[in-house]
Chains A and B, each alone.
Chain A
Amino acid sequence: MLLSNWNNYPRIEAKLEDLRTEGQALQMLEMNRYCIPRGLGRSYGDCSMNRFVISTPKFCRFISMDSNRGILECEAGASLEHILRVIIPRGWFLPVTPGTSHVTLGGAIASDVHGKNHHLHGAFGSHVLDLRLLTPRGDILNCSRDKDHDIFEAVCGGMGLLGLILSARIRLVPLESVFIRQKTLPAKDLDELMGFFQEYQAGTYSVAWMDCLQKGKKLGRGLFMLGEHCRAGEAPHAELLPPATGGARLPFTPPCRALTNPGIKAFNSLYYTLNSRRKGRSVTDLKSFFYPLDGLRDWNQLYGPQGFLQYQFVLPRCSSGAGLQKILQHIHSFGLHPYLAVLKLLGPGQGPLSFPMPGYTLALDFPIRAGLFSLLNTLDRVVLNLGGRIYLAKDARMQKDMLWQGYPRIKEFLNLKKRLDPENKLSSLQSRRLGICQNPY
């Protein structure tokens, strides 16, 4: 079948085999020379793509749940959405969640995903107590911070290259209500936006939406959003999560791009104006706060059949201000506008290939069109020169040096790779492009 991840680029002919049981996992690794695990394919790029793919979403059973201590164990293909359905009614929530609930537990660990609370609570891996890893040689390792801690650390953010995560135990956080107190602050430029992140560092959840179409004095204007869980007493009413619904599905794939430049420009201005007027506080539910796009299924099709790219980088805190200015200016000079831009302040990271480092991360969605790749190559230089790096889960095109210079602990990772997978059995298109695996396709 024709396979692509969320951004529909690249697209390759691939064979997906559904994983259902642990026994099958071993067989699949033995039978196939090169393969890569894939969860729900919500990454933007080629990290979970290969000619042969071990597809995990059917390997998704709940193994145990300690409702007193908030400890949950599931098979790796369980989606965060299904996990939330079970834990929320019991008064628990995920310690870290990305901007969509349609990702698997294995995918969340393998990309060491971050949420709006990264500056306080770290990435997903920080909340994994232990995990069971099937190595390409057929051993099952039970690793944690105490046992095989080097492997444990590297698997978190390891992009599926060290072994297949079979199951994991994670620590949940207590939840008193399904409501979030939200505060929205309009910022007239980049300085003000970054100022808000500084000022509200103690806030639990923070993120900013940036209007990238503004230039000059308004460069980097945006909306800063802050969220706190409502305590039981503060919640407007005491009901738990609204029943999960399927969400409206886009009726068809538009033959061409449905999002256009003038349309996006008008939308950005309107969004900014409306929200700046409505500024201040409001109460919203978990789903609208964390997963605003999950209600609209297949929104990725709006970019048309040629797909889109998300460019997400992080810059060290000291060089963030100047760096972001520079990047926005480059984007303007190329005349290619991102349709969505999200800014976030990150805290320290963990594993050797884990993305976060203390500093600002910006995620930009671009429709694929002429000139985009050369713009991104230009941005790469800026990011690299300032000591930043690119998120592997959002990468479909960067070159080797971005990995080798951006991730200083890459050697450590490669040593483990050699130890656990000397034949490079687990390899993805991305790992070959980046020189982690040299074997043929």
Chain B
Amino acid sequence: MSKPVLILGAGSDIARALGHELAAAGHDLYLAGRHPEELEKDARDLQLRYSINARGMFFDALDFDSHQTFYESLEPGPYGLVLAFGLLGEEDQARKTRKHWEKIIHTNYTGCISILTIAANHLEQAGEGFILGISSVAGDRGRKANYVYGSAKAGLSTFLSGLRNRLHSKGVRVITVKPGFVRTRMTRDMDLPARLTASPEQAARDIFKAIIKQKEIVYTRWMWRWIMLVIKCIPERVFKRMSI
């Protein structure tokens, strides 16, 4: 296999589009997620189109106990890892039921720490490769609309930053992706402003560019970097009254 990349949450719209970019560049792929039969079809498709090797496999971010065995079953071990799974959840439900906020936190944060810790140790040993995590602009500042999700993403961004600091000298790159709005299954019932919204393909191109161009933190679409810069500058005493 040539520089295989493991995609976790490979059925996500952004991940599927990224799969095409990576396969077109010649990477072999492990496509992992909760619907291995569909991922197997995706794998077959990518093999046919790009003459690479690809495999679909089962992975559940919430089943922490399985992560070690899962990762070690990959032969050859991945050169790169893309963490794409996530759960937006519903804020009002998160206010009412513990089960729901736990699921949001465990999917977007704890599950990530669990699998990334294992992967980081292996890549550190290998002395090369990359880890790419899809976080969110929602992690840059807490808003009433999705602060449980946002706080988990903030945790993920911080974790990735620390990991980058740790692995930099070991030849392993860590990339944090912060999408703004992307038109995917996650946002399908939302009315998104067209100018600020990326298609999954656009987001995937931005993410792929970040991988080749050795970037650390990327926003997609690009203007979100500046939008979030402004939003982060608003003093809390003003921000608390706002509805954005």
- Chain A residues within CB distance 8 Å of chain B: 18, 20-21, 58, 61-65, 82, 85-86
Highest count of chain A CB atoms <10 Å: which of B38, B42, B45, B185: B45
Looking at the complex, which one of A21, A58, A63, A86 makes contact with B44 (CB distance below 8 Å)? A63
Complex interface: chain A residues within 8 A of B49 (CB): 62, 82, 85-86
Bits for B89-109, please: 1 = Cβ < 8 Å to A, else 0. Answer: 000000000000000000000
**Set of chain A residues within 8 Å of B41, measured between Cβ atoms:** 61, 63
B38 touches A62 (CB 8 A): no
Shortest distance from the beta carbon of A314 to any chain B beta carbon, whole Å: 37
Per-residue contact bits, chain B 29-55, to A (CB 8 Å; 1 contact, 0 not): 000000000100110110011000000
Closest to A86 in B: B49
CA distance A82 to B185 in the complex (A): 23
Q: List 23 A-B contacts (CB under 8 A).
A: A18-B185, A18-B188, A20-B185, A21-B38, A58-B13, A61-B41, A61-B42, A61-B44, A61-B45, A62-B44, A62-B45, A62-B48, A62-B49, A63-B41, A63-B44, A63-B45, A64-B44, A64-B48, A65-B48, A82-B49, A85-B49, A86-B48, A86-B49
Among residues of A, the one whose C-beta sits closest to the C-beta of B184 is A18
Give, as a whole number of angstroms, the nearest-CB distance from B132 to chain A: 23
Chain A min CB distance to B52 (Å):
13
Inter-chain contact total with CB atoms closer than 8 Å: 23
Q: Which 10 A-B pairs have the closest CB atoms?
A: A61-B45, A62-B48, A62-B45, A86-B49, A65-B48, A61-B41, A21-B38, A62-B49, A61-B42, A86-B48
Rounded to whole Å, the gap between the CB of A167 and the closest CB of chain B is 11
CB distance from B54 to the nearest CB of A (A): 12
Q: How far is the CA of A85 from the CA of B45 in the complex (A)?
A: 13
| Secondary structure class of chain A's binding surface, majority of residues | mixed
Contact with A along B206-243 (1 / 0, CB 8 A): 00000000000000000000000000000000000000
Give the chain B neighbours of A82 by CB distance below 8 A: 49
A344 CB to closest chain B CB (Å) equals: 32
Task: Give CA–CA (A85, B44) in the complex, Å.
Answer: 16
**A267 CA to B77 CA, complexed, in Å:** 61
When distances are taken between beta carbons in the complex, the residues of chain B under 8 Å from A86 are 48-49
B residues less than 8 Å from A61 (CB atoms):
41-42, 44-45
Encode B1-29 as 1/0 by CB contact (under 8 A) with A: 00000000000010000000000000000
Complex-state Cα separation, A153 to B185, whole angstroms: 35
Residues from chain B with Cβ under 8 Å of A58 in the complex: 13
What residues on A are CB-neighbors of B188 within 8 Å? 18
- In the complex, A20 Cα to B11 Cα: how many Å? 10
Once the chains are docked, how many angstroms separate the CA of A65 from the CA of B49?
A: 10
- Most A CB atoms within 10 A — which of B38, B49, B188? B49
Contact residues in A for B45 (Cβ distance below 8 Å): 61-63
Q: For residue B48, which residues in chain A have a CB less than 8 angstroms away from its CB?
A: 62, 64-65, 86
Q: How far is the CB of A16 from chain B (nearest CB, A)?
A: 10
Which residues in B have their C-beta under 8 angstroms from that of A65? 48
CA–CA, A128 and B101, complex, Å: 50
Residue of A nearest to B11 (CB): A20
Residue among B41, B185, B188 with most chain A CB within 10 A: B41
Contacts A62-B44, A65-B48 aside, 17 further interface pairs with beta carbons under 8 A come to A18-B185, A18-B188, A20-B185, A21-B38, A61-B41, A61-B42, A61-B44, A62-B45, A62-B49, A63-B41, A63-B44, A63-B45, A64-B44, A64-B48, A82-B49, A85-B49, A86-B49
Measured CA separation A184–B49 after assembly (Å) = 36
Shortest B12–chain A CB gap in Å is 11
CB distance from A112 to the nearest CB of B (A): 26
A20-B188 Cα distance, complex, nearest whole Å? 13
B43 — nearest CB in chain A belongs to which residue? A61
Which chain B residue shows the least CB distance to A83?
B49
A62-B41 Cα distance, complex, nearest whole Å:
8
**Quick one: closest A residue to B48, CB to CB?**
A62
Tell me the minimal C-beta distance from A226 to chain B in angstroms.
Answer: 33
- Report the Cα distance A58→B185, complex, angstroms: 12
B38 cross-chain contacts in A, Cβ below 8 A: 21
Note all chain A residues with C-beta closer than 8 A to B185: 18, 20
Contacts of B44 in A (CB 8 A): 61-64
Q: Name B107-140 residues within 8 Å CB distance of A.
A: none
Contacts of B42 in A (CB 8 A): 61
Bound complex: CA of A85 vs CA of B50, how far in Å?
10
In the complex, what distance in Å separates the CA atom of A136 from the CA atom of B42? 26
The complex places the Cα of A85 from the Cα of B188 at a distance, in Å, of: 30
A64 to B38, CA, bound (A): 15
